[in-house]
Structure 1
Amino acid sequence: MYEELYVALPAVDRYWERLGLAPAAGQPDAALLDRIIGAHQRSIPFDNLDVCDFHLPVSLGIPDLFEKIIVGTRGGYCFELNALFDAFLTEVGFEVAPCMARSLKDYGYLQPVMHRGALVTLDGRRLYCDVGYGGPLPACALPLEDGARVTSCGQVFRIDAAAGSWWHISYCGSAESDAERPATPVLAFLDQPLDTVDFVPLSHFASTHPNSVFTQRRMVNRRTDDGNVSITADQFTQVGAAGKEQWTISGEEEFRALLAQHFGIVLSR
C-alpha cells in the first residue's frame, strides 16, 4: 500500500540538474550537504498551490514527487519537498531520517505539528536540515548543539535544546547589523527519527483541513542569491541587496507572470 514512499529516485542525474549542480564524487561531507541545501532552496520553490488553489490530493510517493517537482519544475510544500530531499540525500550517500516539527510563528496559540524536517548523521554529529519551510531558515545544516549560532547568507540563526527531545531554531537578524535584536522563534523539531509513512496522516490533515494554514492562503517562496521572493495570498514581496519591494497582485494574469518570472512555475490553463 505504501511501497511508493520508499522506492529509489527514478533518475538521480535529473535531480542534480534541477539543482544546477554537477554530480558529486567521493564521500559525502558537510560542505556537500550545505551546497545541496543552498541550491535546493534557490532552485526549487516552496509552494502550496495544489493544496490551496487547485484542491488536489497530495501524493507523497517518490515517483509522483519526482514527476511533479523535478520533471515538471514545480515546487511543493514541506511534506513533498523534504520527502524528495531525503530520498536524494540517501542516494548521494548520506545517513538521513525524517523528523516532525512545528512552526513557532506567533499566531497567539501553539500550532500543531504540521512540518517535516530531516535529521542527518555525519561523522558522529547530528544535523538538522530543511528545504521545505516557507520562511527564514538557514541555507545550510544546523548542528544539534545547545546554543550554537550559525551564519548563513548574511542571516544569523541560533539552535537551543528545549524540553524533552525538542530543539528550537530562532532567527537572530542580519550578520551585518551591530545592534542586538531579540531572537525570533522560527521552528521547533523533535530529535526523534520517524518513518516516512508516519507523515501520510499529517500531510492529509495539512492539505485538507479547513484549520490548516496551507488550505487558508496561497504561499510561494524561494531563496535568491541576495534575499528571497515570495507570494502570500495576493501580496508579492521581493527582498534583495537594494531593499524590499512589495505590492498587491492585480489579478490572475499578473500572478501567473510572477510565478513564471520569479519561481520558474508555468501553470497549465
Structure 2
Amino acid sequence: MYEELYQPIPDRARYWDRLGMDEPAGPLDAETLDRMIAAHQRAIPFENLDIVDFGRTIDLGMPALFDKMIARRRGGYCFELNALFCMLLAETGFDAAPCFARSLKNRGYTQPIAHRGTIVSLDGEKLFCDVGYGGPMPACALPLEDGLRIVSCGQAFRMDRQDGPWWKLTYCGREDAKACGSDAEEAVMAFMDLPQDEVDFVPLSHFCSTHPDSVFTQWRNVNRRTDDGSVSIVGDVFTKTVHGEKKRVTIESEAQYRTILEKDFGIELPGR
C-alpha cells in the first residue's frame, strides 16, 4: 500500500516547466539548489484547500502528488510539497532525505511534530531546505551552522543548534541580519538533522488533515512567494505583501474567493 510513496516522478520535464527552469546540465552546487527552492516557492503555492474546502483525504503517493501539483497546477501543504520536491532533488542527483520538524509559533503549548523539511548533503556539508511552510521561510538552502545569520529576499533569519539533533530557525524581521536578537524576532520552527523515511510521514499527514485540533482542518491557509513579497489567504482574509508593506482585504463571497485564487495563486478549483 506504500509503494507509490517511492515511485519516480511521472514526467520530470513537466515539473521543470512548472518551475520555469531547465533541468541542471552541469555539476550540482548550492547555487542550483537555491534557484530550485526560490522557483518552487514562487510557482507552487502552499495550500490546504483539499482539506478545508472539500474534506478530501491527502494522498502522498508520487503519481497523486504529480497529478495535483504539476498536471492540475494546484498547491499542497508540507507533506505534499516537500515530498515531491525531495523526489525531484534525488532524481536530479542531489543527496536528499526528508526530516521531521515542528512549528514553534506560540500557541501556549508545544506543538507536535507535524511538519517535514529536507536535508541535503552537498560537498561535505548539510543544508536544510523547505518549500512547504506556510509562512516566512528563506528562499534558499540553509547550511547547518550554529548561529548562522542569513538574509533571503529581504528577510533575516538565524539558525541555532539545540539539544541533540535539533535545530531552531528564527525569523528576525526585514532587511538586515543584524536585526537578529531584537524584540521583533519570532521563532519559526525546529527540525531534526536526521534522515527519515517517506512512510514515516503518512500518519503525521493523516493527523494534520483529519484531526479537529489540527490547524489545517480549521481554516484556509494559502501562501505563495512573489517577486517582491508574498500573497496569502488565512481564513477569509487575503493579504498582499510588497516590500514589507501589507494590504489586507476581507473575502466576502465565493466568487471573490475564486477570483483571488485564480489571479494571485494560479489555482482553479473544481465545483464543490
Query: Partners in 1 of 2:244 and 2:124 — Cα distance?
Result: 41
Give the letter for the 2:7 counterpart. V
What secondary structure is seen at the aligned counterpart in 2 of 1:5? helix
Per the normalisation by structure 2, the TM-score is: 0.96
Per the normalisation by structure 1, the TM-score is: 0.97
Query: Partners in 1 of 2:243 and 2:123 — Cα distance?
Result: 36
2:245 — aligned with what? 243
Give the letter for the 1:118 counterpart. T
What secondary structure is seen at the aligned counterpart in 2 of 1:236? strand
Offset, 1:175: 1.7
Conserved? CA contact 1:52–1:216, under 8 Å? yes
Question: Percent of pairs identical after alignment?
Answer: 59
Conserved? CA contact 1:34–1:141, under 8 Å? yes
What secondary structure is seen at the aligned counterpart in 2 of 1:186? strand
Query: Partners in 2 of 1:63 and 1:47 — Cα distance?
Result: 19
Offset, 1:241: 3.0
Are residues 243 and 199 of structure 1, via their aligned partners in 2, closer, same or farther at CA, if it must alter by over 3 Å? same
Offset, 1:179: 6.1
In structure 2, the gaps of 5 or more residues are: none
Offset, 1:242: 7.7
**Where does 1:25-174 land on structure 2 (aligned, <5 Å)?**
25-174=25-174
Offset, 1:178: 7.7
**Where does 1:169-184 land on structure 2 (aligned, <5 Å)?**
169-176=169-176, 181-182=182-183, 183-184=185-186
Conserved? CA contact 1:94–1:120, under 8 Å? yes
Query: Partners in 1 of 2:209 and 2:257 — Cα distance?
Result: 22
Are residues 177 and 114 of structure 1, via their aligned partners in 2, closer, same or farther at CA, if it must alter by over 3 Å? closer
Deviation track 1:206-244 (CA, whole Å, cap 9, x = no partner) reads: 000000000011100000011000000000000003821
Give the letter for the 1:225 counterpart. D
1:257 — aligned with what? 259
Offset, 1:163: 1.2
Deviation track 1:128-172 (CA, whole Å, cap 9, x = no partner) reads: 000000000100001111000111001111100011211000011
What secondary structure is seen at the aligned counterpart in 2 of 1:63? helix
What secondary structure is seen at the aligned counterpart in 1 of 2:112? coil
Are residues 242 and 82 of structure 1, via their aligned partners in 2, closer, same or farther at CA, if it must alter by over 3 Å? closer
Query: Partners in 1 of 2:193 and 2:236 — Cα distance?
Result: 36
Query: Partners in 2 of 1:141 and 1:206 — Cα distance?
Result: 25
Query: Partners in 1 of 2:9 and 2:232 — Cα distance?
Result: 29
Deviation track 1:241-266 (CA, whole Å, cap 9, x = no partner) reads: 38210021011110000000000000
In structure 1, the gaps of 5 or more residues are: none
What secondary structure is seen at the aligned counterpart in 1 of 2:42? helix
Give the letter for the 2:254 counterpart. E
What secondary structure is seen at the aligned counterpart in 2 of 1:258? helix
